Amino acid sequence: MWLKKTHVTLALALGFLFALLGLTGSLSIYREELDAALNPRLTVDSPQGQYLPLDKIMAAVQAAHPSRHGEWVLEMPRSPKGMVTVWYEKPHETFGEYYAPLMVSVNPYTAEVVASRFWGKTFTTWVEDLHTQIQLGFSGARIVGIIGLGLMVSAISGLYLWWEELKSPRPPFEKGVLGGISHRLRQAFTLHHKEGLRRFAHDFHGLLGLVSALILLLLAFTGFHLAFPKIIETLAGASGMGHGEDGPAIRSTAAHNNRPVSLAEAVVIARGLFPHAEIRRVATPAGEDGTYRVNLRRPGEVNIRHPVTLVWIDRWSGQIRDVRNPNKFTPGQTLVSSLWPLHTGEYFGPLGRLSWFFAGLTPLLFYITGLVQWLIKRGVMEDRKLDWSGLHSLWINADEAMRRQLPLMMKLLKHWGLWAWTQVRRWVEKLAKDM
């Protein structure tokens, strides 16, 4: 069957790359948390008081890097123990590289410049580059997009083959359409663990595909968009709305004077439009006619790290030059601006990120179980019975431990449920006030 040959050929040719992109994607979901864990100095030990004014933080950065002129972007921490990250897009040290900005970490309570690092020179950013462009720059990003197309074909063909394979004779009492569906689902969730390695690998491969295919299709589609953003942006009528794009180049038009607007004043002006929003980023003016670009996250906005609410402010007069308000987006703009958080899982909150993390591990399992089946079929590997006795003992011990801790778990679950309900209620109240 040609579809089966296509599925197997894709798996053999691209399976390792599917697994590599999946693993690096899982790590990249928690890049900031992993970076902080690997670099304890990037965590404020005892946060006290309020953040210093952004102008003092920016002055400390400029004192540490006096020869760097032009636009800087201050990214606010998302926890009291986090650092302000100040980005410089085009440092001369990494000139010619696809993406390698300077990242300056600043203590928001003391304005101490703790670290100055280049993107791609740290473990977590190197892993993310491996995920987004396999360390090959612009060409690598396009290759990753094509691999995403291959993953979509592989997932769709795998689902079809799984469904066709389940067309086995069913018991006579399972009649009609519902009976057929019931039979197929029961077959799909059955692992024949006593019939040898090849059969178990086959069943596990199919079951894993059934539970993860839709997420993998979404990840592959959004990943393709991130590699070729202009295609969907053009079709959706949402140019300049993709991840990493800063919108139109808005200029300051007021007369130059000796009292330009400060960073703190620009933030106050922007928050006047969105009083319940959280400041996420502030870009300093690029040149004499540049504007402040203030990036805010409003309650309920699905983009957590890269929200799309923007306010441009004239650096000389403080006049608002332009606003990007998600509430006024067209359906196409809403779609395009949602593709990044859909790819990272943050669209669905912390549980979504965790689910996406585990989904990123599945291509490796697909690769292993598929390769085992192919090697056994080719006679390179010998099929054999599986010994589950050790796993059974482990399960019994784990079950006993769980039963002993059950009262404590129920108590914690109760408190967690009350906390979660309180957070939801506060979120709804904030959303109602903002609308």
Residue-wise pLDDT tens digits, 185-201: 666 667 776 788 888 88
Question: CB burial class (10 A; 0-12, 13-18, 19+) of residue 343?
Answer: buried
For 211-254, the three-class secondary structure string (H helix, E strand, C coil) is HHHHHHHHHHHHHHHHHCHHHHHHHHCCCCCCCCCCCCCCCCCC
- Tell me the Cα Rg of the chain: 26
Contact between residue 77 and residue 43 where contact means Cβ atoms under 8 Å apart:
no
- Nearest-angstrom CA–CA distance, 143 and 21: 12
The CA distances from residue 206 to 151, 353, 394, in Å, are 16, 24, 25
- Nearest-angstrom CA–CA distance, 4 and 56: 62
Residues 393-431 have pLDDT tens digits of: 666 766 677 667 667 666 666 666 665 666 555 655 554
- Nearest-angstrom CA–CA distance, 356 and 26: 7
Q: What is the pLDDT of residue 198?
A: 87
Q: What is the pLDDT of residue 81?
A: 92
Question: CB burial class (10 A; 0-12, 13-18, 19+) of residue 421?
Answer: exposed
Q: The whole model's pTM is what?
A: 0.83
Q: What is the pLDDT of residue 387?
A: 73
**Regions of the chain short of the pLDDT cut 50:** 170, 173-174, 177, 431, 434-435
Q: What is the pLDDT of residue 163?
A: 77
Q: What is the pLDDT of residue 166?
A: 65
